[in-house]
Amino acid sequence: CYMPAFHEPSAGLEIVVNADAWAELPPHLQAIIENAADAAAA
């Protein structure tokens, strides 16, 4: 089990998306993903 160090408390809050796949998503789905990522990091 990996636990982030004190200096990196949000190391597990990353999302990596292929730029071409992202560009193919409709704007409303991009907004859903962006809002979910923002909420997870809050």
In tens, the pLDDT along 2-36 reads 666 666 665 667 788 999 999 999 999 999 999 99
Confidence of residue 38 (pLDDT cuts 50, 70, 90): confident
pLDDT of residue 3: 64
Rg, the chain, Cα only: 13
In angstroms, the Cα distances linking 28 to 15, 21, 39 are 18, 14, 16
Question: Are 10 and 41 a contacting pair, CB within 8 Å?
Answer: yes
Which tops the pLDDT comparison, 41 or 11?
Answer: 41
For the chain, how many structural domains are there in total?
A: 1
For tokens 């998306």, what's the residue?
17
pLDDT of residue 42: 72
